[in-house]
Structure 1
Amino acid sequence: MKKKINILLIEDNEGDVELIKEAFSSDAARLEISVIDNGEDALLSLKSKDRVLPDLILLDINLPKVDGREVLHFVKNDDGLKKIPVVMLTTSSLQKDIEYSYNNYANCYIVKPGNLPDFIRTLKSIERFWLNCVTYLQNS
């Protein structure tokens, strides 16, 4: 049996959260998805001494309170977090956001498609690769 995968989804759009959970439902038995809807709470959670380290972070850029750029920067500059893969999953197709994300060690950058069928297809691609192909570090 494959290891349980802990995903931290940092996303403020409730509709997108539901679509992501639904798209990943075929792997629900081996997934633990935690959702945080703003960057400030995400930082507090990630800084917590009692934190459960996620295996994968799905991160939106346009978040309330603290944006996803700051969250990414924090994760990739923290020795205890920087090895966690971060997938930027956002509506922003701005070159400056893409460049910033890769300059700050995002593992990939995915622009959310504007229509539902393409968004579902994209989520299924994320599921196939990040949940079925990738080998994760063992968190201690």
Structure 2
Amino acid sequence: MKRPLRVMLIDDNPLDRALAEEAFALLKQPCTLVTMPSGIEALHVLMAADTLLPDLVLLDINMPGMNGLAVLEKIKGHPTLKNLPVLMLTTSMADDDLRRAYALHASAYLPKAVSFEGFLTQLEGLVTFWHNAKTTTWPNTLTPENLMPQ
């Protein structure tokens, strides 16, 4: 039996984080949500030696300080984190943001739904997909040693 999906949401907007927490509480699939108010704080948590890594990172682009694309670049450049699925969940509809996100190896790019019902539908689909896509041991098996080609 698969354990609940672990999701980390990185978004500077407190209202968006609160809406996500409310939406995740309503989902049918079992999952846990951790929210981070900034990319810098999220990177500190993700890179800590004792961190239980999420199965999926939902990342906003438009954030002060370090924007989501810079956070994505740090994640994908880190030996232990580079294989984490990162989905850009953003209000940005800019073609440059979309191209840059995929160039930096984002797993997906999804504009945020305008309504709460639409957002809930988006999350239900995301959680169902990623819950079914992961193995029972992912990402606990991510270590620099087993990520290197043999």
TM-score normalized by the length of structure 1: 0.86
**Structural RMSD (CA):** 2.1
Check whether the contact 1:24–1:127 (CA below 8 A) recurs between aligned residues. Answer: no
In terms of mean alpha carbon deviation, does 94-103 or 27-36 score higher?
27-36
How far does the alpha carbon of each residue in 1:47-80 deviate from its partner, in whole angstroms, 9 at most, with x for none? 2223221111011111222111111011111110
- Structure whose CA Rg is larger: 2
| Alignment match, 1:110 | 110
Check if 1:134 corresponds to 2:143. no
Aligned length: 139
Q: Mark the CA change 1:121 to 1:42 in structure 2 (over 3 Å): closer, same or farther.
A: same
| Alignment match, 2:72 | 72
SS in 2 for 1:3: coil
> CA separation in 2, counterparts of 1:49 and 1:138?
14
Q: Which runs of 5+ in 2 are unaligned?
A: 142-150
Shift of 1:7: 1.3
Check if 1:33 corresponds to 2:30. no
Q: Mark the CA change 1:29 to 1:108 in structure 2 (over 3 Å): closer, same or farther.
A: closer
Q: Mark the CA change 1:51 to 1:20 in structure 2 (over 3 Å): closer, same or farther.
A: same
Provide the identity percentage: 35
Check whether the contact 2:55–2:134 (CA below 8 A) recurs between aligned residues. Answer: no
Check whether the contact 1:19–1:120 (CA below 8 A) recurs between aligned residues. Answer: no
SS in 1 for 2:88: strand
Q: Which runs of 5+ in 1 are unaligned?
A: none
TM-score normalized by the length of structure 2: 0.81
Equivalent residue letter for 1:8 = M
Shift of 1:5: 2.3
> CA separation in 2, counterparts of 1:101 and 1:29?
27
> CA separation in 1, counterparts of 2:63 and 2:51?
21
Q: Mark the CA change 1:121 to 1:67 in structure 2 (over 3 Å): closer, same or farther.
A: same
Check whether the contact 1:39–1:64 (CA below 8 A) recurs between aligned residues. Answer: no
Shift of 1:138: 4.1
